[in-house]
């Protein structure tokens, strides 16, 4: 009888889409196994009336799945890579980083107006400090409105709360079939994405060689190198997913270019730099970029951001 692999996921529409995509591909690549999906709510899904940065960001959308894995209730967990903390619980590791979708942020505007043409003081919804800081650097006049909830909820709030636009990740909105709602793909010059944005990650138990072999078939080398570099940068800066830090790794051939940004909440202080080197040295490049940003004054900016939430 085929062994059943139990796959854990959050129960949001996007998380379920991502998990079904992973499982469909794992079935094709591993026909000798059967797969069962188990969904659960995480802390980040339950607390919707508080800014994420005030709850704390270590594993907000992953912890419950990780506990289930450590208790052997599930064999692997599917995450958005941008939700996965840079330090994983002891006994767990990343088994695969799937091929990255478009990592850009996008604008969904009520009246179809581009970001640069929005009226003075336009109301823009986002829950991300990273997006907020970079948008305010670009357009200091914008009013940023805190926006929590899943994609369906955020889309509904665009009309209900009289917002001029909302900022979302391209990957999520396209995976749920709403690409036609995108007004603008925001250029990287304006807004660098979250670390890992656009990629699906598979977390597994260390030492589980069987599951490791099964999921490794979905690992995408160039995406894994780019995101490994981004995560190394984030870890060195001791930033979490709710801190105004953005990064983008890009691999061409055997070369990796990594850009990073650290900004104050109001966008007035914004440090941005880049490094380039062999893709095989992804983690070292991430550390090198973090050190470059720290030399430029990133630590002072990050300290002031954290004090705002203490």
Measured over the CA atoms of residue 169, residue 170, residue 172 and residue 178, the dihedral's sign is: positive
Q: Are 97 and 220 in contact (CB under 8 A)?
A: yes
Determine phi and psi for 260, rounding to 5 degrees: -140, 155
Query: Of the candidates 99, 96, 75, 68, which has an alpha carbon nearest to the alpha carbon of residue 84?
Result: 96
Query: Of the candidates 128, 103, 257, 99, which has an alpha carbon nearest to the alpha carbon of residue 188?
Result: 103
Query: How many Å apart are CA 255 and CA 273, to the nearest integer?
Result: 17
Query: How many Å apart are CA 105 and CA 172, to the nearest integer?
Result: 10
Query: How many Å apart are CA 74 and CA 96, to the nearest integer?
Result: 16
Does residue 164 carry a catalytic annotation? no
Q: Are 70 and 205 in contact (CB under 8 A)?
A: yes
Query: How many Å apart are CA 263 and CA 25, to the nearest integer?
Result: 38
Task: Return the C-alpha torsion angle 147, 150, 155, 160, nearest 10.
Answer: -60
Catalytic, out of 83, 105, 164, 208: 83
Catalytic residue numbers read 83
């Amino acid at each position: 009888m085929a062994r059943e692999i139990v796959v854990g996921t959050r129960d949001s529409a996007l998380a379920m889409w991502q998990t079904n995509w992973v499982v469909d591909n794992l079935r094709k690549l591993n026909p000798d196994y059967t797969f069962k999906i188990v969904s659960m709510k995480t802390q980040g899904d339950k607390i919707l009336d508080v800014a994420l940065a005030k709850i704390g960001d270590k594993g907000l959308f992953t912890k419950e799945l990780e506990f289930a894995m450590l208790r052997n209730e599930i064999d692997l967990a599917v995450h958005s890579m941008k939700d996965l903390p840079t330090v994983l619980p002891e006994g767990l590791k990343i088994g695969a980083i799937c091929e990255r979708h478009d990592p850009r942020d996008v604008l969904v505007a009520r009246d179809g107006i581009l970001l640069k043409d929005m009226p003075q003081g336009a109301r823009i919804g986002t829950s991300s400090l990273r997006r907020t800081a970079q948008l305010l650097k670009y357009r200091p006049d914008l009013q940023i409105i805190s926006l929590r909830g899943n994609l369906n909820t955020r889309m509904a709030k665009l009309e209900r709360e009289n917002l001029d636009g909302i900022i979302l990740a391209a990957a999520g909105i396209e995976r749920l079939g709403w690409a036609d709602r995108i007004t603008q793909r925001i250029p990287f010059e304006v807004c660098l994405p979250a670390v890992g944005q656009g990629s699906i990650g598979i977390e597994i138990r260390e030492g589980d060689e069987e599951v490791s072999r099964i999921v490794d078939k979905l690992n995408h080398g160039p995406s894994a190198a780019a995101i490994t570099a981004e995560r190394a940068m984030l870890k060195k800066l001791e930033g979490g997913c709710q801190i105004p830090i953005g990064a983008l790794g890009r691999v061409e051939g055997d070369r990796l270019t990594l850009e990073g940004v650290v900004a104050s909440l109001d966008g007035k202080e914004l440090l941005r730099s880049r490094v380039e080197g062999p893709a095989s040295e992804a983690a070292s490049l991430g550390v090198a970029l973090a050190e470059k940003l720290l030399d430029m004054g990133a630590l002072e900016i990050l300290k002031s951001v954290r004090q705002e939430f203490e």
